[in-house]
Amino acid sequence: MITQQQQNNMQTASTNNMMASPNMARTVNHGAHEILDVHEVISGTLGTIDQYLMFEQQIKDPELKDIVVRQRQFITDQYNVLVECFKTGQDPSHPTSSYMMKQSNDVVYGMKSSQPTKPKQSAAEIDDKCLSSLMLGCMKSSAQTMTMAAGEATNPIVRRVLQDSIPNYLEMAYEIFLYQNKKEFYQVPQLKEEDTQQLLNSFATSGGSQGIQGTTQGMQSNQQNRILQ
């Protein structure tokens, strides 16, 4: 038989559990889509770090090896920042930083004749052109995956870390592209001059900013008139 004291203790325990539940819910401040998408981002980033480590052992060009070392160090730091804020839902120990590439922004345009590309028949055929292409694919894929995850993130800190990381991955992709372009691994075709000019001049600015400003001022004036009435 349950005594009155036991009933009181059970009611007190039940009340404490009800009060604790909202606090527990607030500590897990991530949505379901966010959890799944960020988990995919982190797994992909971990794979990129491992691949870069393998690339570093195979690359022959010192310039490309410098790129892969610097990018792997940067990606590893960004990985740590994302993992930290994802697990805690709070600010990481240090914010995201900006990647600084060493390549110039000069792009060589035009196509030169070259041999058709085909699948490699042995690991010995894997060269710097192939490895740099794999690096570029990693960076482009990471930027796309992070963009998708950022759109689903509900935690403001995780969302900001993802948003701030995307330009860095695009910058690293651009650095690899510039290296490839300089080495003639990645050639950039162009349209005919007249076609380029026609497309460039096929749009014009709206000139609507003054109209928007005037509309805004008119709305504010109408609102003030309504308040005065």
User: pLDDT tens digits for 21-43?
Assistant: 444 444 568 889 999 999 999 99
Q: What is the CATH number of domain 30-115+123-198?
A: 1.20.1260.10
Most confident of 25-29, 85-89, 138-142: 138-142
pLDDT greater than 90 at residue 89: no
CA distance 226 to 174: 54
Residue-wise over 196-205: b if at least 16 C-beta within 10 A, else e? eeeeeeeeee
pLDDT greater than 80 at residue 47: yes
CA distance 55 to 72: 10
Q: Which pLDDT belongs to residue 210?
A: 62
CA distance 154 to 38: 11
Using CA atoms of 29, 33, 39, 41 in order, give the dihedral in degrees to the nearest 10. -120
pLDDT category at 15 given cuts 50, 70, 90 is very low
Write down the domain spans for the chain: 30-115+123-198
Task: Count CA atoms within 13 Å of residue 81 on its CB side.
Answer: 20
The strand pairing partners of 188, in sequence order, are: 109, 110
Percent of the chain residues topping a pLDDT of 70: 78
Q: Count of residues for the chain?
A: 229
Residue 110 three-state SS:
strand
